[in-house]
């Protein structure tokens, strides 16, 4: 990429100097595709994302194939990645919905796992077949066993900024759900705007509420969807509030198989463009990320949703 395709760097003194990008395209992105992507293509995608400098790449989910058939090859994928990446493959996070999923992940030597909870009753039942309280009873032995095995545990909370069935989700309800996961012993809590309905003031208020409840921004991550075009401005609000970990998906792929109003995730390229313009370090090579998403769009047979990929994909090549 030429220098003319890079943003001018104009730092904002009120923002963090470094951000961690938690790349979820290979899991959260591909799980919502109508067609199943081959195991070889998934392995190639993950390898390309790592080569582009993504510090964390969530690889897959050990969920029952009946619920997410696009990720039914989780064990095969991790074995293939072990052949490609060696011991490095064990550091790729994987989602585990329950104790059986955790058992499969630990058998393959995974060192980092994530659980996926809900801030609302309805989504907990649709996604986990458990109630809002029942999900924590299911997660408790998963977290305990994972930590006993030496694995780190990330916790996702979905529907933090609105629910398509229940509507508005009170901030204190989100904080209560998040605190319950943290109290189980998770290492990081990712707050999900599953339907993309959040706005900057809502983001600030939620982070302030967690801080008031004793949860500092360094324990939090933010996971935005761009349904209403708010993902980047919400990220900026998160930066101003002190959060330094952001989930993003290569090319803006993703959604949620249980919430049809949820469209794509925050595109990694769009996030990188903004961070580069603000002079915030993150370690991801924008050109190589664009090349990866352009390549993936070709495999999927449709253009990338990312604005930056659409603007610069032709210049980046494939």
Active-site residue, from 256, 266, 267, 286: 256
CB atoms within 10 A of CB 76: 14
Torsion on CA atoms 96, 101, 103, 105, rounded to nearest 10: -60
- Classified as helix, coil or strand, 248 is strand
Residues 16, 130: Cα–Cα separation, whole Å: 38
Q: Is 256 a catalytic residue?
A: yes
Q: Select from 280, 253, 238 the least CA-distant residue to 70.
A: 253
Which parts of the chain fold into alpha helices (H)?
39-51, 74-85, 99-107, 121-128, 134-148, 171-184, 200-212, 231-240, 268-278, 286-300, 307-316
Query: For tokens 């494939």, what's the residue?
Result: 318
3-class SS at 127?
helix
Q: How many CA atoms lie within 13 A of 207 on its CB side?
A: 26
**Catalytic residue list:** 256
């Amino acid at each position: 990429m030429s220098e003319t395709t890079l943003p001018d760097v104009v730092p904002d003194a009120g923002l963090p100097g470094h951000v961690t990008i938690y790349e979820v395209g290979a899991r959260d992105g591909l799980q919502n595709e109508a067609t199943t992507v081959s195991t070889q293509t998934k392995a190639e995608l993950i390898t390309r994302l790592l080569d582009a400098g993504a510090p964390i790449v969530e690889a897959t989910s050990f969920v029952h194939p009946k619920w997410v058939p696009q990720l039914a090859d989780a064990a095969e994928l991790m074995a293939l990645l072990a052949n490609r990446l060696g011991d490095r493959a064990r550091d790729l996070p994987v989602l585990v919905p329950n104790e059986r999923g955790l058992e499969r992940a630990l058998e393959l030597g995974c060192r980092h796992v994530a659980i996926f909870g809900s801030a609302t009753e309805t989504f907990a039942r649709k996604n986990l077949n458990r109630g809002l309280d029942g999900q924590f009873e299911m997660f408790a032995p998963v977290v305990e066993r994972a930590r006993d095995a030496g694995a780190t545990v990330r916790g996702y909370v979905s529907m933090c900024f609105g629910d398509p069935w229940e509507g508005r989700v009170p901030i204190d309800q989100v904080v209560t759900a998040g605190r319950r996961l943290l109290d189980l012993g998770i290492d990081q809590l990712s707050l999900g705007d599953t339907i993309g309905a959040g706005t900057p003031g809502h983001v600030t208020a939620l982070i302030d509420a967690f801080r008031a409840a004793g949860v500092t921004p360094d324990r939090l991550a933010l996971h935005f969807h761009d349904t209403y075009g708010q993902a980047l401005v919400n990220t900026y609000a998160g930066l101003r509030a002190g959060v330094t970990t952001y989930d993003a998906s290569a090319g803006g792929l993703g959604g949620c198989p249980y919430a049809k109003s949820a469209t794509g995730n925050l595109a990694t390229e769009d996030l990188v463009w903004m961070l580069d313009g603000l002079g915030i370090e993150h370690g991801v090579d924008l050109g190589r990320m664009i090349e990866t998403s352009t390549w993936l769009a070709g495999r999927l047979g449709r253009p990338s949703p990312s604005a930056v990929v659409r603007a610069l994909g032709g210049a980046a090549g494939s």
